[in-house]
Every structure is written in structure tokens, then in C-alpha cells.
């Protein structure tokens, strides 16, 4: 079983739509959680850390459910520039990190 699992998509949505991604992790001892964005043939870029209380950054909202071991990312009012692959990341012992395979988002005009 993979440490981190994501729906690979692609999610094809129109501009202005709201889209949500989920990610599940297998190790209940996980300590840190992140969402990264990766454009084609580029490096991953940190989108946001995910905290137990949930956190929001503009159009992006991240939630963590430790009991069910899943993380979510909500994108409101999608823009064309949001098209990318979104990677879920889970950390153990504060220095070992597992990435999901990513969820591809295509925002269409």
C-alpha cells in the first residue's frame, strides 16, 4: 500500500468553478502535511502547509482530518493559471517526506 494516495485525475473544470482534491495517508504517526503545485517539467512549489485547524490562503483552503487520515484542498473561483498537478505531501519524524503521485487539474476557458 502506498504511503500517500491521490486521485490522478485529470479534473477538467471551467474557469470560475470550485474544485476539491482529497489525499489519504497510511501512517497515523504522520506529523506534517503540505500541498505542492507542480507545473509541467518544473519543480514542485509549496502551495500551503496544512494544519489540524484547517487553513485558508486566498482562494485555497486546506483541511486535515487525522481521524480518517485524509487531507483536502479546495480551490474556489478557478483560474486558467491554476492548471497544474497538485501534490499531497506527508512528513514523518519531521524529516522524511512522502509525496502522492499528484492530481492533475485542467482549468478551461
Partner 1 sequence: DAGVTQSPTHLIKTRGQQVTLRCSPKSGHDTVSWYQQALGQGPQFIFQYYEEEERQRGNFPDRFSGHQFPNYSSELNVNALLLGDSALYLCASSLSSGSSYEQYFGPGTRLTVT
Q: Does 70 bind partner 1 (CB under 8 A)?
A: no
| Strand 11-14 relative to strand 103-108, pairing | parallel
Q: Does 23 bind partner 1 (CB under 8 A)?
A: no
Q: Does 1 bind partner 1 (CB under 8 A)?
A: no
Query: Residue 4 or 84: which CB sits closer to partner 1?
Result: 4
CA–CA distance, 97 with 8 (Å, rounded to integer): 19
CB of 47 to partner 1, least distance (A): 11
Residue whose C-alpha cell reads 497515523 in the numeric block: 28
Query: Residue 18 or 27: which CB sits closer to partner 1?
Result: 27
CB of 78 to partner 1, least distance (A): 22
Are 13 and 78 spatial neighbours (Cβ–Cβ below 8 Å)?
A: yes
Q: Does 66 bind partner 1 (CB under 8 A)?
A: no
- Out of 66, 79, 96, 108, point to the residue binding partner 1 (CB under 8 A): 96
| H or E element that contains 6 | strand 4-6
Three cell numbers at 74? 479546495
Are 84 and 78 spatial neighbours (Cβ–Cβ below 8 Å)?
A: no
Footprint of partner 1 (CB under 8 A): 4, 32, 34, 42-46, 49, 87, 91, 93-102
Amino acid at each position: 500500500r502506498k504511503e500517500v494516495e491521490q486521485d490522478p485525475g485529470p479534473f477538467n473544470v471551467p474557469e470560475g468553478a470550485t474544485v476539491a482534491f482529497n489525499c489519504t495517508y497510511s501512517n497515523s504517526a504522520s506529523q506534517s502535511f503540505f500541498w505542492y503545485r507542480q507545473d509541467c517539467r518544473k519543480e514542485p512549489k509549496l502551495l500551503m502547509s496544512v494544519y489540524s485547524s484547517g487553513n485558508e490562503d486566498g482562494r485555497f483552503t486546506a483541511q486535515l482530518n487525522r481521524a480518517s487520515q485524509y487531507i483536502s484542498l479546495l480551490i474556489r473561483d478557478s483560474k486558467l493559471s491554476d492548471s497544474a498537478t497538485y501534490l499531497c505531501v506527508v512528513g514523518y519524524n519531521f524529516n522524511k517526506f512522502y509525496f502522492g503521485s499528484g492530481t492533475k487539474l485542467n482549468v478551461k476557458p
